[in-house]
Structure 1
Amino acid sequence: MKASVRAQMSQSLNLTPQLLQSIRLLQLTAPQLEMELRQALDRNPMLELDEGDEAGETDADGHEAAADEASYEAAAWDELPEPQFLSGVSGGVTVGDDDATARIADGVSSDWRVRLLDELRLDWRAADLALAAWWLDRTADTGLLEGEPAGLVAEGVAELRVPASALEIVRQRLLHGDWPGLCAADAGECLAAQLDRLPADEVRALAHRIVREHLATLARHDARALALALGCDVDACDRAVALILSLDACPVPMPVMQDDDHVIPDVVVRKLGGVWRVNLNGRTLPKVRISAHCESGLSGASGDVSALRGLLDEARWLVRGIAMRNDTLLRTTQVLVERQQAFLDQGEEAIAPLTLREVADAIGMHESTVSRITTGKYIQTPRGTLELKRLFAVRLEGAEVSGAAVKAMVKRLIDAEPPHAPLADETIAGLLARQGVRIARRTVAKYRDQLDIAPARARQRPSIRAQAR
């Protein structure tokens, strides 16, 4: 083996604590940043809550000074790749998204069986509760039994040593209880139990016949066969079908959610005097500043105050990092709103092709910076609260429109089609070509699949009145 010495040159970027903090603050969502600031206020005495002015919407003028002071640091973290390893959480995931039970109100179980038993415990005897728990353990999350009732009753008699009648009585109580349709043998029994809770009339009686005897015909949307089987007039049949469609196929209710389970917009945009204006939503975040009292006291202090000076430097880095984040978010959003004014004015079909590189070039930063600052951030518009990523759109190959706009056009054409003559994919492509948008039939099929819309032959729904003739 021959030993050798070789010289090699390499280039690397040393990440300072300030740089790491700037990157982390840049990709935090509004709830994450609020938590970060409150934790900083608790552990660092050099920071204080800025209560001088009421927090509200802040425009670009309020960030110019802070941006100029911090601009020299932008080039460093601007060129970094996506640093998922630099933060404990991903910039695209809000707190609580990994655990759906975190959004359920305190004291409410995520298991619907436990919630129901807690409700029944107020009125049911302990022996009946035990039988109810046995039935619920053999009920799927859809609310239907995971087997035939007769077989399950035989199993329960052998296991619990109770009469078959006692088990069936408890099942019927669950079936017709506060959650009607629960523990049903099939969809027909589930829907029939829900119908029993409604006032008795001719429409309910007709709906009972459909779910008991003609559920398969209803599922096939065979309107003519259903009308003939029922032997009733068309109007009565229509009312019975509408009543069935108003029922819940899954009798298990969703858990009660917290009142504050909603998206908090980071940016607000509104049209004033014919001009779209962008403002940061300052009401969502606490405003922090350096404590002037502590800073002045530290400047004249004697002795070893290195620990306090370290806290002061940390506080300055945090305030500067927040200013950089807010300025980058505001400038990015201003470019997005400027490029997508037609979308804000006219809707989804007017959304223009826009890429990360185009926005990055407009604000003088790297694509990775734009990606971080727009991930997990939301903007409140007159058209609703949207994720900033929604304002980006890929250009359709060979066209001057975006794929998102064409998808919206496809949906509009399908929504407006006559029920008895749905539009085929080739027909939709031809209609779009008349509007100057030339796409292939397979592209229409792809967008239709993404919209979860069935093919034309499956969308055809002849009316009962037309078939009865």
Structure 2
Amino acid sequence: MKASVRAQMSQSLNLTPQLLQSIRLLQLTAPQLEMELRQALDRNPMLELDEGDEAGETDADTHDAAADEAACEAAAWDELPDPQFLGGTSGGVTVGDDDATQRIADGVSSDWRLRLLDELRLDWKAADLALAAWWLDRTADTGLLEGERAVLTADGVAELGVDARTLEIVRQRLLHGDWAGLCAVDAAECLGAQLDRLPDCEGLALARRIVREHLATLARHDGRALAAALDCSIEAADRAVALILSLDACPVPDAPSQGDDHIVPDVVVRKLGGVWRVSLNGRTLPKVRISPHCEAGLSRAPGDVSALRGLLDEARWLVRGIAMRNDTLMRTTQVLVERQQAFLEQGEEATAPLTLREVADAIGMHESTVSRITTGKYIQTPRGTFELKRLFAVRLEGAEVSGAAVKAMVKRLIDAEPPHAPLADETIAGLLARQGIRIARRTVAKYRDQLDIAPARARQRPAAAIAR
């Protein structure tokens, strides 16, 4: 046997633990990330909850800088293969029309504004609903207006082209409606609106006076001072206070329980002031930061503290990874919303063709990164809550529209057909051709099958049956 020496060059990617952690955080869904953060808080004393105080706000800027630094170190994740374990499918986003996971079951929206508008739609006129939606967009989750009423009214008059009296009437209807206290200027108006809906009872008149004139005294829990201010007995004042305490400080009710199969949206998009605004859903995720006290104590600790320094490094990488994930998710969603604005405003038929590569080029990342960040992530919109990958759509061959838009057109034509003369697949193809969309009959049949619609002969109803 003859021994020989041969030189060989190869290229490989070494994955550091920090890079692997960043990749894993990138592809976690909202419930998975919440569990990850709570476990990290339990096992790492260097982490603490960010309660939104001054230190927390300052750390948010630090986290952005940390995200930029970590992004440079973890840039190689774009070259990794797509994950294979999420949802039982490949990590790549399937953008074709055959994807059965594009839709989720309809349910009650997690956005209380949408829930209320759905209730009002049964009784309110369309013009009043538009004004109600305008007020709700300027109402905080506490149920109170975000800003001075006079300033908001002036903005509404200029933006909506209605007079101030009409706008105020709609606000008063919301204030004294089924969700009493909503769109109130302050806590006194909110509680007063709830008291107005109560039947006449003992202590109601005193309760209204307390809410209107003596809320500061009530907040001090000084029963004697309150009774003196009302010129009544302490017992009467206590009854009125008990009545007030039975009210809701926040008039926004919780969403009804949907069971264990509910969807937690990762991002929320709303149209405000004519502009679509994207925001992360921060209600479900605990905000974590590095404990400044532990970090400062570690810098002065004597002896061997290598184990604690390891925990500190782990905490820093976790905070960086979360910042990177959130930044990538926000940038990706903003591009998706911008490209699919027509769909959000007009519906399925306005869905534009959009691919992974187009989004990746827009945010300056690799397609695999876009694939990871959109798989298993959900977006809450005025049109419902669905997976981010639903905003991708293949371009129909030979046309400038997407397959999803054509499928919606097919459904619209079938819904509007005469019951006694349903449209055949060839007829539907011909009607679409008149609109400049040329597709084969078998394509119409494929879309009809995906919509679970029977053929024309099975949809036909005799004229006699229709007359009855």
TM interval, short-chain normalised = 0.5 to 0.7
- Checking the alignment, whether the CA contact within 8 Å between 1:41 and 1:48 is kept in structure 2 is yes
Alignment partner, residue 49 of structure 2 = 49
**How far has the Cα of 1:7 moved from its partner?**
2.5
> Residues of 2 paired with 1:85 and 1:79: CA distance?
18
- Write out per-residue CA displacement over residues 168-195 of structure 1, whole angstroms, 9 at most, x where no aligned residue: xxxxxxxxxxxxxxxxxxxxxxxxxxxx
Q: 1:66 to 1:281 in 2, by over 3 A?
A: farther
- Checking the alignment, whether the CA contact within 8 Å between 1:379 and 1:386 is kept in structure 2 is yes
Q: 1:360 to 1:390 in 2, by over 3 A?
A: same
So what's the TM-score if we normalise by structure 1?
0.60
Q: 1:401 to 1:89 in 2, by over 3 A?
A: closer
Alignment partner, residue 238 of structure 2 = none
> Residues of 2 paired with 1:293 and 1:51: CA distance?
15
Alignment partner, residue 458 of structure 1 = 458
1:305 aligns with 2:305: yes
Question: % of aligned pairs identical?
Answer: 91
So what's the TM-score if we normalise by structure 2?
0.60
- 1:385-400 → structure 2 map (5 Å cutoff): 385-400=385-400
Q: 1:86 to 1:345 in 2, by over 3 A?
A: closer
Partner-residue secondary structure (3-state), 2:283: helix
Letter of the 1:404 counterpart: A
**How far has the Cα of 1:14 moved from its partner?**
0.4
Alignment partner, residue 421 of structure 1 = 421
* Residues paired across the two proteins, number: 301
> Residues of 1 paired with 2:303 and 2:260: CA distance?
49
Greater gyration radius: 1
> Residues of 2 paired with 1:61 and 1:308: CA distance?
25
Alignment partner, residue 18 of structure 2 = 18
- Checking the alignment, whether the CA contact within 8 Å between 1:270 and 1:277 is kept in structure 2 is yes
- Checking the alignment, whether the CA contact within 8 Å between 2:360 and 2:370 is kept in structure 1 is yes
**How far has the Cα of 1:435 moved from its partner?**
1.2
> Residues of 1 paired with 2:332 and 2:361: CA distance?
11
Structure 1 gaps, min length 5 = 55-59, 98-256
Letter of the 1:402 counterpart: S
**How far has the Cα of 1:3 moved from its partner?**
4.8
- Checking the alignment, whether the CA contact within 8 Å between 1:47 and 1:291 is kept in structure 2 is yes
Q: 1:338 to 1:88 in 2, by over 3 A?
A: closer
Alignment partner, residue 315 of structure 1 = 315
**How far has the Cα of 1:441 moved from its partner?**
1.1
> Residues of 2 paired with 1:6 and 1:347: CA distance?
63
Partner-residue secondary structure (3-state), 2:6: coil
> Residues of 2 paired with 1:433 and 1:467: CA distance?
33
> Residues of 1 paired with 2:262 and 2:65: CA distance?
33
**How far has the Cα of 1:83 moved from its partner?**
3.5
- Write out per-residue CA displacement over residues 144-203 of structure 1, whole angstroms, 9 at most, x where no aligned residue: xxxxxxxxxxxxxxxxxxxxxxxxxxxxxxxxxxxxxxxxxxxxxxxxxxxxxxxxxxxx
Q: 1:90 to 1:306 in 2, by over 3 A?
A: farther
Structure 2 gaps, min length 5 = 55-59, 94-100, 102-256
After superposition, the CA RMSD in angstroms is 2.8
**How far has the Cα of 1:71 moved from its partner?**
2.8
**How far has the Cα of 1:431 moved from its partner?**
0.5
- 1:54-203 → structure 2 map (5 Å cutoff): 64-84=64-84
Alignment partner, residue 274 of structure 2 = 274
Q: 1:21 to 1:67 in 2, by over 3 A?
A: same
Partner-residue secondary structure (3-state), 2:418: coil
Q: 1:466 to 1:14 in 2, by over 3 A?
A: closer
Q: 1:313 to 1:85 in 2, by over 3 A?
A: farther
Q: 1:311 to 1:267 in 2, by over 3 A?
A: same
